[in-house]
Amino acid sequence: MSTSAPVALAKAATYDPAEILAAVRGCLGHQGGIRAWVKPGQRVLLKPNLLGGFPVERAVTTHPAVIRAVALLVREAGGEPWIGDSPGMGALDKVASRCGLEPVLAETGARLVDFSEAAEYPVPGHRVVPQLTLTRVLREVDVIISLPKLKTHGHLVMTGALKNQYGLIPGSLKSQWHFRLRQPEWMAALILDIDRVARPALAIMDAVVAMEGAGPSAGQPRPVGALLAGACLVSVDVVACQLIGLQPPQVPVLAAAASQQYGTTDPRKIEVLGGDWRSLRVPDFAPVPHLADVQRLVPLPAFVLRWIRRLWTARPRILPHCTQCGICAAGCPVKPTAIHPDRTGGGPQVEDHRCICCYCCHEFCPQHAIELRQSWLARRISLGRLADRATRWLS
């Protein structure tokens, strides 16, 4: 499991390769340098966020300049960099190409590995399942370095270091978990179980340009100007969420970590090296608009929370510029699919009674042609105000 450790912070205003390399080197320098984690001859898996084949400037995926810098440092330490992920949509080689990784692979000699082959792993101290099916690559590497992108997330409020490991689940198995674990808190528990198995040595987060609003794929790029690195993924996420104006209890994965006493979620107990994180805070960072405040209704019983959440939950709706590529339907974990982009002449394009609101379709759509439309109730009553009143009433 991740252990408590300091988080190093470095400023980086642009993705200039030299600036990023210096920033990553600076972050790691506070913690003993890359050689503290990588020994000569070790195979080192770099796990960026390669959700899909999105252009770099959309800020959906980890920037290639960050991946390049870490791969070069791994080489410097005598390690062998492997770069791998299981994209939510598309084959890894095509996704890597669209995400600007070809020059990185050529320059660093890193090996691109896909996660399609699976293996079974026991989960020590599990909370969801005693055994998980993850990529076989975990057995073939000596060290894992997670390279997340800081983004908002429709289902889990924020995606960072811990959530990035969801990509260790091979291919369509991810959809099956979405179907089985419909509540954010259940998915959060699974993500912690994945961390118990994978145990990355380090996370280096790309928050140079983050994503705000309708993340993790349809939001807007938002400069934050930071790189964060730390051996405790929980701590890295805690510092990251503070940069974008979230509190740890608002993020289901961090709320789960707090309840399981998994890592340190109290920001006051996390040492930040390399500068004051407050100087990089983006006070008006736009959150995912519809879910964050639900977490504040903590005093209510879980079944009431679920009922309220269902009433307020945003629903996917297909917009007119849909090209009917079918990616959303293919990725929908509900079988038969709950979304029907080809129903242009009648019948619901989204079957609300069957949709589990996992937002995979929204995440996968390459055209930004799916919006998450707030419910009638949510448009009239702010869940945040309701949460405030309920908390006051119950206290």
Single out the segment in contact with ligand SF4 by CB under 6 A; choices: 7-15, 107-115, 190-198, 322-330: 322-330
Single out the segment in contact with ligand SF4 by CB under 6 A; choices: 5-13, 25-33, 73-81, 349-357: 349-357
- Interaction of residue 64 with ligand SF4, rule CB under 6 A: no
- Interaction of residue 318 with ligand SF4, rule CB under 6 A: yes
Q: Other CB atoms closer than 10 Å to residue 148's CB: what's the count?
A: 28
**What's the DSSP call for residue 332?**
-
- Interaction of residue 370 with ligand SF4, rule CB under 6 A: yes
User: Which CB, 64 or 219, lies closer to ligand SF4?
Assistant: 219
- Interaction of residue 181 with ligand SF4, rule CB under 6 A: no
The sign of the dihedral angle between the CA atoms of 52, 57, 61, 67 is positive
User: Which CB, 141 or 214, lies closer to ligand SF4?
Assistant: 214
Single out the segment in contact with ligand SF4 by CB under 6 A; choices: 244-252, 272-280, 338-346, 375-383: 338-346
- Interaction of residue 341 with ligand SF4, rule CB under 6 A: yes
As a whole number of angstroms, the distance between CA 16 and CA 352 comes to 45
Shortest CB 135 distance to ligand SF4, Å: 23
User: Which CB, 76 or 352, lies closer to ligand SF4?
Assistant: 352
Residues binding ligand SF4: number (CB under 6 A) = 26
- Interaction of residue 226 with ligand SF4, rule CB under 6 A: no
Single out the segment in contact with ligand SF4 by CB under 6 A; choices: 5-13, 130-138, 256-264, 327-335: 327-335
- Interaction of residue 167 with ligand SF4, rule CB under 6 A: no
Of 71, 77, 137, 369, the one binding ligand SF4 (CB under 6 A) is 369
From 141, 112, 138, 137, select the one nearest 123 (Cα to Cα). Answer: 138
Cβ pair 235, 254 in contact under 8 A: no
Q: What are phi and psi of 169, to 5 degrees?
A: -80, 125
Write down the H helix ranges in the chain. Answer: 17-29, 64-76, 92-98, 102-108, 137-140, 173-180, 184-198, 233-243, 252-259, 302-312, 327-331, 360-364, 376-380, 383-394
Cβ pair 155, 359 in contact under 8 A: yes
From 312, 377, 384, select the one nearest 304 (Cα to Cα). Answer: 312
List the structure tokens of 85: 């992920």
Torsion of CA 52, 57, 61, 64, to 10 degrees: 110
Of 103, 124, 326, 348, the one binding ligand SF4 (CB under 6 A) is 326
- Interaction of residue 357 with ligand SF4, rule CB under 6 A: yes
Of 113, 292, 339, 390, the one binding ligand SF4 (CB under 6 A) is 339
Cβ pair 379, 373 in contact under 8 A: no
Q: Contact positions toward ligand SF4, by CB under 6 A?
A: 316, 318, 322-328, 332, 334, 338-339, 341, 350, 355-361, 365, 367, 369-370
